[in-house]
Structure 1
Amino acid sequence: MMGRRTSWTPWAGWLAGPLGWIIQHQGGSNTVFWNCTLGQPSLVVTLGVVGALVALGGGWLSWRAVRDVGSGETVEPHWGSQRFIGMVGVLVVLIVLVAIAGQTMAGLILRGCG
């Protein structure tokens, strides 16, 4: 069953990936800046999980857009570029997930204002 195609769906990975990274990075660094005692492992892991889930949601939407377009010829020629945009969106999310994982691990090693 083909999902409903929209012109913004392939762009979801491009938008949600960096948004998840912003949530994890800025949320953690600003919290520690405001109050050093808040930079505990539970907060770092929670922000990492929330950021990763936001990024994965966008990657999933981009992947669905790529899958829905398929490899066959479509009636509308611009869907080929939408497929490319969706694949790059998935790759953006994968790169952002590596950054989120690395920064979450660093937050577990360096606690508070360490």
Structure 2
Amino acid sequence: MRRILQPWAGLIGGVAGWYLSQQAGSGMIFAQCTRGHWWSVALLGAAGLALVAAGAMLSYRRWQDGRTEQDGWQFVALLSMLLALLLAFPILMQTIAGLLVPGCLS
């Protein structure tokens, strides 16, 4: 089971990290408008980036292990790893925006 899921770990971790950052961050803006803290935005961004990094690292390990096998899983692992790195960019931008823009704008 591990050899089947490991190439997909970058995709799963990237999407999960972005989902956590986007949904929890936007929900926190409305729920904690008057008492929002900068560290909570930074913590959510760090958690999202940690999920992305963990998934990308697992896919990278599978890609490195599969370099001698030349099977289709090597391509899946490489694509999944690159997609995880691509999904780290919006998480980073959302976190920076959350730190720079004041809460509630009022």
Question: Above 0.5 in TM-score?
Answer: yes
Q: Say whether 1:24 aligns with 2:24.
A: no
Larger radius of gyration: 1
Letter of the 1:21 partner, please give it. W
Native 8 Å contact 1:31 1:38 kept in 2: no
Alpha-carbon distance between aligned partners in 1 of 2:102 and 2:52, rounded to the nearest angstrom: 25
- 1:110 deviation in Å? 1.1
Alpha-carbon distance between aligned partners in 2 of 1:66 and 1:106, rounded to the nearest angstrom: 33
What is the aligned partner in structure 2 of residue 65 from structure 1?
62
Identity of aligned residues (%): 34
- 1:51 deviation in Å? 0.4
Instruction: Specify every segment of 5 or more residues in structure 1 that has no aligned partner in the other structure, as ranges.
Output: none
Report the count of equivalent residues: 104
- 1:86 deviation in Å? 0.5
Native 8 Å contact 1:41 1:111 kept in 2: no
The alignment's TM-score, normalised by the length of structure 1, stands at: 0.84
What is the aligned partner in structure 2 of residue 90 from structure 1?
81
Q: Say whether 1:39 aligns with 2:16.
A: no
Alpha-carbon distance between aligned partners in 1 of 2:36 and 2:11, rounded to the nearest angstrom: 29
CA RMSD, 1 decimal: 1.4
Which ranges of 4 or more aligned residues in structure 1 deviate by more than 2 Å? 37-40
Alpha-carbon distance between aligned partners in 1 of 2:61 and 2:22, rounded to the nearest angstrom: 27
Alpha-carbon distance between aligned partners in 2 of 1:48 and 1:82, rounded to the nearest angstrom: 30
The alignment's TM-score, normalised by the length of structure 2, stands at: 0.90
